[in-house]
Amino acid sequence: MTGQKLLEGIRIVDLTSVVFGPYATETLADLGADVIKVEVIAGDIFRHAGKPAATPGMGPCTLNLNKGKRSLALDLKSDEGKAVLAAQLAEADVFIHNVRGKAISRLGFGYEDVKAIKPDIIYVHCTGFGSAGPYGDLQAYDDVIQAATGTTNLLSRVDGNPVPRFFPSLVADKVAGLHGAWAVMAAVIHKLRFGEGQFVEVPMFETFTHFMMQEHLYGQTLVPPKEPAGYPRQLDPFRQPFPAKDGYVAIVPYTPDAIDTVIELLDAPELAEDPRFIDYPARMRNISAFYEEMAKRTPKLTMAEWAAKMAEHQIPAMPVRDLDDLTEDPHLKAVDFFQQRTHPTEGAYLKMRSPVSFSVGSFEVKPAPRIGEHNEALGAPPIPVRRRAD
């Protein structure tokens, strides 16, 4: 597919690693920005996640996370490496990095240093914690942020097990990455309108707190608080997927009419007469008990049967799937979400397309580069192509 790139002409020098920053720049590359991924000679550490690839540094995560980018591998402790980076910054619209403030200043690429190279640069610093607070110099990874934001205690509030647990996804990294992407685009719009660059800080702790506390600030929103923090609906131990004959199914009877319909579909008229569920206010007070009653009745049908019944009556519902099932999902197939492509060095792989579609601006994104693939084109010494010894 070809077309006008939405971010055509926006050049981004990307000195980020792992997931937070690279997910932000993947999003921007998907929209057509020219993203130059600057990395150490050995490559971004996250390139090496998974079983050894045919080419070192081309692990499975990098094939999507770094698609559409160009790779420039540099030793930034050397004068030569610094000179190459400075030359790239002189031509850039955006510089984004996740190096701690003191360390990037020691390298000579703090905001004022880069502003001297390119006065209207948009300088985006991806940090663990905002620099104005007492945690400003601390390192952070997804696990640390989940712990610091109370996320690791959410499951305890649901199931009563007091042991804190991580949500099994790099959710804080990716949420912060999306904030990083929109922050870049907002700063680019400002520059296009007013002609000035700026310094932008995107702290993971603050962004994920902002994300989690939209509903979970709850009773602490008012001063003084009238209820504890934590949105009760999300913390209800019975608001879980319901057992079906062949697995589990998520069913969401959210409105008064929906609850009436679900009672009918469950073939459970006794629930409509139950004093706990006699009207909508009573149902909301006793919603946990209603979910419990639903779970007693859902095993009589299969996941597909429940999904079809609910869809017919406009009740949100979906079968519970495993990660391995998603590549065969009929909807994702119909919208061409997982696209099989052939990588120049790694062979056949599945590319995830950008989930957002536009009536203009669709185009094919180039495959993820190997470490230092574009060094020569970008004025740096070439990096030898290495192949894994079988």
pLDDT digits (tens, 9 = 90+) for 114-141: 999 999 999 999 999 999 999 999 999 9
**Domains of the chain listed by start with CATH number:** 11-211+339-344+355-378 (3.40.50.10540), 242-319 (3.30.1540.10)
Q: Tokens 């536009």 belong to which residue?
A: 358
pLDDT value for 121: 98
68-120 residue pLDDT tens: 999 999 999 999 999 999 999 999 999 999 999 999 999 999 999 999 999 99
Cis peptide bond upstream of 119, omega within 30: no
Q: Residue 24: exposed, middle, or buried by beta-carbon count in 10 A (0-12, 13-18, 19+)?
A: buried
Neighbouring CB atoms inside 10 A of 2's CB total 7
pLDDT attached to residue 254? 86
Give the model confidence (pLDDT) of 250-309 as tens digits: 999 988 889 999 999 999 999 999 999 999 899 989 999 999 999 999 999 999 999 999
Cβ neighbours for 198, distance < 8 A, ≥ 6 positions apart: 122, 123, 187, 190, 191
Let me know: does 291 contact 298? Beta carbons within 8 Å: no
Share of the chain above pLDDT 70, in %: 98
Q: How many other CB atoms are there within 10 angstroms of residue 51's CB atom?
A: 6
Query: Model confidence over 350-365: pLDDT tens digits?
Result: 999 999 999 887 789 9
- The predicted pLDDT at position 147 comes to 98
**336: pLDDT strictly greater than 90:** yes
Q: Using the predicted structure, report yes or no on whether residue 16 has a pLDDT greater than 70.
A: yes
Q: What share of the chain is helix, strand, coil (3-state, %, to 5)?
A: 45, 15, 45
pLDDT confidence of residue 272: 93
Beta strand spans in 167-231 (E): 198-203
The position carrying tokens 């203009």 is 360
Cis preceding-peptide flag for 275 (omega within 30 of 0): no
How many other CB atoms are there within 10 angstroms of residue 27's CB atom?
Answer: 23
Residue 197 has pLDDT above 90, yes or no: yes
Tokens of 327: 């590549």
> What are the pLDDT digits (tens) for 47-57?
999 998 899 99
217 has pLDDT over 70? yes
> H-helix or E-strand containing 73?
strand 69-73
Residue-level pLDDT at 1? 46
